[in-house]
């Protein structure tokens, strides 16, 4: 079997053969075209390291692997050698595609290796595309698919994830140029897209992953760590608990009052009766009801203040 030549074809030919990006995305989101066409540049190693990885030795390994003269065990050993050889390139792409520090880079490397294995098994040198270009497409595609569909609890269109990735690049660029964090309007002008698209992409990214209630948070001043759940406040529950506790305290204080004073408090505040109605029910004058109520409130106030002082 003659040895096939590995010739790098232009990027346009590569796109026409494999069509790695949806035409609909390019038409609806022209700002993504630059990202998708040039994204490989920022995710790949330096020229020297690429040349070391994708050298003629790797071409020999690929040629031997793709030949039909080897048994299954020998082909598996060759594939392991190819994977080990290209592994630094996979790691570089994984770190380049990690959108933020919370992205699982180690998982991305494993996913990228899956793409590399697919590229090795499906590569055809006779098509005229270099293995580096072909492998980059599969490695990057697997990682992007994982970031889009596997790590996110809330699914969103692929264009939004790609737009957010582009936003991150523009934010770093404008921050260095302006000396401050750019506004959404400045980012939108740089990307030539509506501000609403910027806001939507940022909101989707913030809601991409759930936050554990047991997650530890550190104060901005470097203080003690606290559990995220402790910072969550249910105002309705807090108000109900405080009201219930106050009611219990008042009921305990009312138990110390004389029955006639306690009855006046109950009919006034629990049964919502007027002093005239209370006077008719008790068979006393309205003036006497007013005096009893004032006396009961004074005694309750004294009891509550005493309990508060003793609890400190």
**HEC per residue, 80-106:** HHHHHHHHHHHHHHHHHHCCCCCCCHH
C-beta of residue 45 within 8 angstroms of C-beta of residue 98: no
C-beta of residue 74 within 8 angstroms of C-beta of residue 85: no
Q: Convert 189-217 into a string of H (helix), E (strand) and C (coil).
A: HHHCCCHHHHHHHHHHHHCCCCCCCCCEE
Instruction: Name the residue among 242, 211, 204, 208 with its Cα closest to residue 227.
Output: 211
Q: pLDDT tens across 255-285, in order?
A: 888 999 999 999 998 899 999 999 999 999 9
Instruction: Name the residue among 66, 106, 99, 104 with its Cα closest to residue 82.
Output: 66
Instruction: Name the residue among 256, 258, 296 with its Cα closest to residue 275.
Output: 296
Instruction: Name the residue among 292, 304, 311, 312 with its Cα closest to residue 254.
Output: 304
pLDDT of residue 223: 57
Kindly report the number of other CB atoms within 10 A of residue 87's CB atom: 15
* CATH class of segment(s) 1-151: mainly alpha
Give the whole-angstrom CA distance, residue 105 versus residue 143: 10
Which 8-state DSSP code applies to residue 127?
Answer: G
Give the whole-angstrom CA distance, residue 33 versus residue 121: 29
Tell me whether domains 154-225 and 235-311 share a fold.
yes
Residues of the chain with pLDDT under 50: 1-48
User: What ranges make up the beta strands (E) of the chain?
Assistant: 216-218, 225-227
Alpha helices in 29-130 (DSSP H): 31-43, 47-53, 56-66, 72-97, 105-122
Give the whole-angstrom CA distance, residue 31 versus residue 189: 11
Q: What are phi and psi of 216, to 5 degrees?
A: -90, 135
pLDDT of residue 217: 66
The CATH classification of domain 235-311, taken from the options 1.10.3720.10, 1.20.1440.60, 1.10.10.10, 3.40.630.40:
1.10.10.10
CATH code for the structural domain at 154-225: 1.10.10.10
**How would you label 27-43 residue by residue, b for 16+ Cβ within 10 Å and e otherwise?**
eebebbeebbeebbeeb
pTM of the entire predicted model: 0.43
Structure tokens, 258: 């004389």
pLDDT of residue 169: 85
pLDDT of residue 312: 63
Structural domain boundaries in the chain: 1-151, 154-225, 235-311
The H or E element that residue 164 is part of is: helix 158-178
**How would you label 88-104 residue by residue, b for 16+ Cβ within 10 Å and e otherwise?**
ebbbbbbebbbeeeebe
């Amino acid at each position: 079997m003659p040895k096939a030549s590995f010739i790098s074809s232009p990027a346009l030919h590569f796109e026409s053969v494999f069509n790695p990006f949806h035409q609909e995305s390019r038409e609806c989101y022209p700002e993504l075209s630059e990202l998708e066409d040039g994204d490989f540049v920022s995710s790949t190693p330096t020229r020297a390291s690429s040349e070391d990885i994708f050298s003629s030795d790797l071409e020999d390994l690929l040629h031997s692997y793709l030949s039909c003269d080897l048994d299954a065990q020998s082909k598996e050993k060759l594939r392991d050698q190819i994977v080990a050889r290209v592994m630094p390139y996979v790691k570089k792409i994984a770190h380049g595609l990690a959108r933020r520090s919370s992205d699982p880079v180690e998982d991305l490397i494993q996913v990228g290796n899956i793409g590399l294995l697919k590229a090795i098994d499906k590569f055809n040198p006779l098509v005229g595309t270099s293995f580096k270009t072909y492998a980059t497409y599969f490695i990057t595609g697997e990682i992007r698919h994982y970031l889009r569909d596997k790590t996110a609890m809330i699914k969103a269109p692929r264009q939004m994830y790609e737009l957010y990735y582009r936003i991150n690049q523009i934010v770093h660029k404008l921050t260095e140029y302006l000396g401050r964090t750019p506004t959404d309007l400045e980012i939108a002008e740089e990307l030539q897209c509506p501000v609403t698209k910027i806001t939507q992409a940022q909101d989707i990214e913030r809601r991409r992953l759930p936050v554990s209630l047991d997650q530890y948070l550190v104060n901005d001043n470097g203080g003690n760590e606290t559990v995220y759940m402790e910072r969550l406040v249910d105002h309705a529950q807090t108000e109900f608990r405080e009201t219930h506790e106050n009611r219990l305290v008042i009921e305990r204080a009312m138990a110390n009052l004389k029955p006639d004073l306690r009855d006046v408090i109950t009919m006034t505040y629990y049964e919502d009766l007027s002093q005239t109605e209370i006077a008719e029910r008790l068979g006393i004058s309205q003036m006497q009801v007013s005096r009893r109520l004032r006396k009961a409130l004074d005694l309750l106030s004294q009891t509550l203040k005493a309990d508060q002082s003793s609890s400190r």
